[in-house]
Amino acid sequence: MTISRGTKIFLAVCTVLALIVVYTPLAIVVINSFNTSKTFAWPPAGFTTEWWQAAWHSVGARDALVLSLKIAAIATVISLTLGTMAALALQRYKFFGRDSVSLLIILPIALPGVVTGIALQNAFTTMLGINLGFATIVIAHATFCIVTVFNNVIARLRRVGGNLEEASMDLGAGTFTTFRRVTFPMMRSALLAGGLLAFALSFDEIIVTTFTAGNGQTLPIWILDNMFRPNQAPIVNVVAAALIVLSILPIWIAQKLSADDEALPSAAG
């Protein structure tokens, strides 16, 4: 299909406008993290690194960061394990209710966060009698992080098919040997991409965390609690700016891995 020059220009303008709308607020946050004014007067009267030094020595921000990293790491490990197992079961085997199980796995990320948070809070406190805290946050995050791993792995398994695994078993390799030498290498980059996305999703989650955290304070909750406090507002901007910069790396790696995956079927052929 041939696209006219006018259509190309229109699409280019729309793309630029969309990028401006998305990235201008992020740019303002980064600039304000160096703003000398606590009220974030615009345009900035001057620039300073004072707020970055204050953020570095902020005990509350540091503790919240460590907690978020721990939760995201454990939730990612759980997601990688359960998401991979679910993808292998649903892709390699046929059984009654397979489509329903697939829908149930994907559903948590499709539901509004408020609904998921309320449901999990009621399940923990009312049905199970569990005190809200570190463990409940990890379980809550794992419920929707599994989806990112599941989607990446099952997409990879569908592209590569099962011919290589069948050939491995025909040559005498057992189930675990085939998985170690054939299946795992084929989906290794998909696991890494899914794990990175799951980690990022868990790290910045706030809605579900609010309902399941109890007294725990992850970094997103710390930001929300302190952004309207005059003495903490500059530090909040610094933390937000740092998160913007740090979030670029895992997302870029996941995107590169996903792009590289597209060449796999043709290479295997």
- Give 60-111 pLDDT, tens digit per residue: 888 888 898 999 999 999 999 998 888 888 877 777 877 888 888 888 778 8
What DSSP character marks residue 37?
Answer: -
The set of long-range contacts for 120-126, using a CB threshold of 8 Å and a minimum separation of 24, is 120/208, 120/211, 120/212, 121/211, 121/212, 124/212
Kindly provide the residue ranges of all beta strands, DSSP E only, lying in the chain, ordered along the sequence. none
Please, what are the domains in the chain?
58-268 (1.10.3720.10)
pTM of the model: 0.78
Q: Can you give the pLDDT at residue 17?
A: 93
Structure confidence at residue 268 (pLDDT): 45
pLDDT digits (tens, 9 = 90+) for 200-234: 888 888 888 888 887 878 888 888 887 777 677 77
Read off the amino acid at residue 137: I
Please give the angle made by the CA atoms of 173, 83 and 208, to the nearest 5 degrees. 170
Q: Which tokens is 59 given?
A: 């005990």
Q: Print burial letters for 222-257: b (CB count within 10 Å at least 16), e (below 16).
A: bbeebeeeeebbbbbbbbbbbbeeeeeebeeebeeb
43 upstream amide cis, omega within 30 of 0: yes
Q: What are 27-43's pLDDT values in tens digits?
A: 888 887 887 777 666 77
User: Helix (H) and strand (E) counts for the chain?
Assistant: 13, 0
Enclosing H/E stretch for 188: helix 184-203
Count of CB atoms situated within 10 Å of the CB of 58: 19
Average pLDDT score over the chain: 80
Mean pLDDT of 164-191: 73
> What is the residue type of 82?
L
